[in-house]
A and B are shown apart, each in its own frame.
Chain A
Amino acid sequence: MQNSFKFLTKREFLLFVALLGLILLGGFFALTSGAWSIAVKEVLKIVMVKLGLFSGSINNVETTIVWDGRLPRFIVGLLVGFSLGGAGTIMQGIFKNPMASPGVIGIDSGAALGAVVVIYLGLAAKSLFALPISAIVVSIITLVMVFNIATSRGQTSISTLLLAGIALNFIFSALTSFVITLSTREFDVGRVIVTWLMGDLNNRSWEHVSIVFPTTLIALVGTLFFVKDLNILMLGEETAANLGVNIRIARNALLFFSSVETGGAIAVSGVIGFVGLVAPHIMRSLIGPDNKKLIFFAGLLAAVFVIYADLFVRIIVQVDLKIGIITSLLGGPFFLYLIIKHRKRFEYM
């Protein structure tokens, strides 16, 4: 089969089409399903009219539901998944560790702490932007802290970075637990915090898109700028240095973009586990270790996970089950299956 994406192999092209198809199908279900019954024809008409591809009269209420309710929720899911997949790919590449994810250096737990504190203080209830800002800023603060701890005389040690990350993870998790304990007194606040920690895309709006879209875009562009260096870094630091890579700049920049992606995603969706870990693995086993492609493919697969987990929670289960629970419950066993099946293949890293 010939394809116009010359840089992709036939297998990769088919995979790309399949992922894109799954996302579009997910989008179709996301837009046509919900509490308010709207005919599929009407939904399509609304989208066409809104995109300026068709002119005609559309129902005001239904348009608001589709365009301002369901569509932003779907887009947030797509961007969150793409960000988590991309961030996971970067982390696994930098640390040359199949278990690496943004959580390893404490970014997840830092962002979670930032969000939980804002919810507890009541600021999240006062403004839509308070929580995302806090989550993103605290995740960047975490990165700065980890780096400063791990850097000595201009050299950043990967093992110290990991250890510092683990230590900060413990500290942030303990502080988050402390805030949760405090919030149990305020039943309503405690419930919001726990819900948020389980990951949720309920009632996401264009404002949330406006938060996660720039972080995803900035991180993607930034990562692509350094993706060649990331590939070389995976060969070992000595080799990378011999090949002219400024290891310090490349690694720091990649970690920064990974933090921005993770912070942005967590800021709008809460903690969605496993996606950033599983998606790069699966894609690496299918298309190989070239990060230039892997970032896109892992991002798309992670987006598929998040979109379908949200659909599952929203349409099929319809009880108070959260998206983070689904991704971990489904992703965990699937991941175990892959590990057992491809034991040898995972050993290369």
Chain B
Amino acid sequence: MKINLLFISGLVFFLLLVDAANCQDSAQTKTVTPLNMGELKNALSFVRGCETAKDVWPRVVRYGFRIYDFKTDTFAQEEKTITIKKKPLRIIPHAVGVADILWAICPRERLVAFNEFSADPDFSFISSEVRAKGPIFQSKHTELIIGYQPDLVFTVFYSGGDFKEKLKQAKIPYCDLGYFGTIESIKDQILLIGKIIDEEGNAQALVKLIDDTIMDLKGKLPKMAKAIRVLYYDEGGYIPGISSNFNSICTIINAINVGAEQGIKSWSQIDNETLLKWNPDVIVVPEGSNLKIQLMSNKVLSHAQAIKNKKVFYIPGVYLRVDSQYMVLSANLLAGIIYAKQL
């Protein structure tokens, strides 16, 4: 039995290795972006504005809590109120986007811990900085989070109800933040977070920096007779639509997100025939997959414009998952990819 199992296991392992080794894609050439990526990332990571702190406590903040209902593909909004008794000095963000924002506008000594996604380069632009500062917790480790004794936890609309209940039981104040998949909603969240942590000046400065950067970026984009139609093709053939952050990224750089153009709301799976029918000018695929080779060698897709013109590009996942001020960074990179010839 053992010999049988060993032989079969060895055979499959060998076949998979050989197969995988044969299918490695060659590296994509380095992208030249309209704005310097390193400088832009640094600018977005540390922002200080005018002193506007009121230092009045307790503070009652009313805000619009917008959630995205994945079942019905619709948004719902409700008014929420949070009362902060004293200036929060031990803050924990429970999501990457919030950590990004706090990293830029909040004195870092007030950030007591980060979740594992903020320390993961596939999800966060500040992963190395977060790892260096620490400590890092896993989102499911509620006990650990309570143990850090935060005086404010920023949760998000998809944080588990049980987690929020535990915080309530431990009498730890938390602020539940809504949807932030577009640059406008991100700016709203920045201002809200600034108000709650008493760093409104920094928050306003970050929003201004985002606006200025977008203007700067738009100014450097080539004038096109027709907007470039970009399609993001995920593993499994999923396409992002109107409410995705990819749509917002495309809008910033005057490109058309083909998924949104064709009426997809959040994400939807399409077949090759539909992709051919939609016929995008450019296709972007997540880095680390072999999708480029698969798309380029697909017979049905061989008639698609993007395939014929070899306009299929890899993009690191972190740029596509972004839901913070770093969305501008993603827009800058995508602009570098799709306007490569004109820049």
CB distance from A19 to the nearest CB of B (A): 27
Q: Give Cα distance in the complex from A70 to B276, angstroms.
A: 13
**Is A202 in contact with B269, judged by CB distance below 8 angstroms?**
yes
Q: Which residue of chain B has the shortest Cβ distance to A138 in the bound complex?
A: B12
**Extra inter-chain contacts (7) besides given A35-B276, A191-B238, A205-B298, CB under 8 Å:** A35-B273, A68-B300, A125-B290, A134-B12, A186-B122, A187-B321, A191-B234
Q: Give Cα distance in the complex from A61 to B192, angstroms.
A: 52
**Is A123 in contact with B16, judged by CB distance below 8 angstroms?**
yes
28 examples of A-B residue contacts, CB within 8 angstroms: A35-B274, A35-B277, A36-B273, A61-B303, A64-B302, A64-B303, A68-B300, A69-B300, A122-B288, A123-B19, A125-B288, A126-B289, A127-B22, A127-B23, A127-B290, A128-B294, A133-B19, A144-B4, A144-B5, A188-B235, A188-B236, A188-B238, A188-B286, A191-B238, A202-B237, A203-B237, A320-B268, A320-B269
Q: Which of B15, B268, B317 contacts A188 (CB 8 A)?
A: B317
Q: Per-residue CB proximity of B1-31 to A under 8 Å, as 1/0?
A: 1001100110110011001101110000000
Q: Per-residue CB proximity of A298-321 to B under 8 Å, as 1/0?
A: 000000000000000010000110
Which residues of A are at the interface with B, using a C-beta cutoff of 8 A? Answer: 34-36, 60-61, 64-65, 68-70, 118, 122-123, 125-130, 133-134, 137-138, 140-141, 144-145, 148, 185-189, 191-192, 195, 202-203, 205, 314, 319-320
B residues 272-308 in Cβ contact with A at 8 Å: 272-274, 276-277, 286, 288-291, 294, 298-300, 302-303
Given A61-B303, A141-B8: A195 in contact with B269 (beta carbons within 8 A):
yes
Q: Give Cα distance in the complex from A122 to B289, angstroms.
A: 7
Q: Give Cα distance in the complex from A64 to B301, angstroms.
A: 9
Q: Which residue of chain A has the shortest Cβ distance to B272 in the bound complex?
A: A203
Q: Give Cα distance in the complex from A314 to B288, angstroms.
A: 29
Q: Give Cα distance in the complex from A189 to B317, angstroms.
A: 12
**Is A133 in contact with B15, judged by CB distance below 8 angstroms?**
yes
B residues 153-172 in Cβ contact with A at 8 Å: none
CB distance from A310 to the nearest CB of B (A): 11
Q: Which residue of chain B has the shortest Cβ distance to A196 in the bound complex?
A: B236
B303 proximity list for chain A (CB < 8 A)? 60-61, 64
**Is B12 in contact with A137, judged by CB distance below 8 angstroms?**
yes
Query: Does B271 count as interface, using CB distance less than 8 angstroms?
Result: yes
Closest 5 A-B residue pairs measured CB to CB? A35-B274, A68-B299, A192-B236, A148-B1, A137-B12
**Is A188 in contact with B234, judged by CB distance below 8 angstroms?**
yes
CB distance from B279 to the nearest CB of A (A): 10
CB distance from A84 to the nearest CB of B (A): 22
Q: Which of A60, A130, A137, A314 contacts B11 (CB 8 A)?
A: A137
Q: Per-residue CB proximity of B313-334 to A under 8 Å, as 1/0?
A: 0000100010000000000000
Q: Which of B9, B269, B300 contacts A64 (CB 8 A)?
A: B300
**Is B291 in contact with A125, judged by CB distance below 8 angstroms?**
yes
